[in-house]
Amino acid sequence: MASGLRCNVAGQIIIHAGFAKCGSASIRTALFQNFRKLQKHNVFVFDKDLRIARTAADLVGTPIWFLEQARKKSENLAQRLGSEIAPLLKRTRDHLVILSAENLTNPGMAELFTDLDTQREV
């Protein structure tokens, strides 16, 4: 799975804004099942609290409730994501980070990530 993923710039982020009932759970399951292989290839995943998962167990649950609370507060999450990714840059500049949550398609969610694309390739 991870062998085909290659980063072109430091700190790429994939935001998977899946719609409900369109495979989001299957994607999260695949990320969980391939956790170690992904890490070996410098592919990391945000956990339910928008932290970089350190173990496969950290991927149990989705960040939908964290994101919903941030939306209610009109919080900008770009800096938080950047702070989580920063330690990865010390290890390798060639990495990819994945954020997957089906509620990212809901109204108001895109605003949570304003200016993220100025920090990293999204």
pLDDT band at 122 (very low <50, low <70, confident <90, very high): confident
Number of domains in the chain: 1
Strand, coil or helix: 12: strand
pLDDT band at 87 (very low <50, low <70, confident <90, very high): confident
pTM of the model: 0.83
Distances (CA, A) of 11 to 1, 38, 56, 73, 88: 19, 15, 21, 27, 8
Is the pLDDT at 90 greater than 80, yes or no?
A: no
3-state secondary structure 75-117: CCCHHHHHHHHHHHHHHCCCCEEEEECHHHHCCCCHHHHCCHH
Token pair in block for residue 43:
């592919």
Tell me which residue range forms the domain holding 44: 2-119
Q: How many CA atoms lie within 13 A of 46 on its CB side?
A: 26
